[in-house]
Amino acid sequence: MNNKAKARAAALLLAGAVGGGVLAGTLSATAATGTSTTGTTGTAPIGSGYSAPAGAGGGPGGAQPVRSDEKLVTGADLATLKAAALKAVPGGTIIRVETDSGDATYEAHMTKSDGSLVTVKFDKSLAVTSVEDGMGK
């Protein structure tokens, strides 16, 4: 590889590192300020009726259920569960709302305004039963 090719390769690596740093800084700043973007804006599909925050990529675990025995919630139930989860975790951002194969009927995976992760659990009547730290048991 000649010197020009090496210089170009180094410039590309540097540009990628700078771009990644800017993106990481932007996402961190959004989390640090407690900015909530849980509406229907954003680019990452999360389920029928809403999207992940722009640039968030759906959050930890992604926008789709991680387990094959859990399914995304849609329709009127989604709207009800989303509203209840946001009331239980003020200023939070919803990553996804899905059925739960564990100790609840439904669960909303969220990021709190301080950036920490929580899971809001619901019973079959769509009532909040608990808010657990992390992505659920």
Residue 9 predicted with pLDDT over 70: no
Hey, what are 60's tokens?
Answer: 């930890």
Query: Would the pTM count as exceeding 0.75?
Result: no
pLDDT tens, 12-71? 555 555 555 544 454 444 444 444 444 333 333 333 333 333 333 456 666 676 778 889
User: Which residues lie below 8 Å from residue 96, measured CB to CB, with a gap of 6+?
Assistant: 46, 47, 58, 59, 61, 62, 63, 64, 65, 72, 108, 109
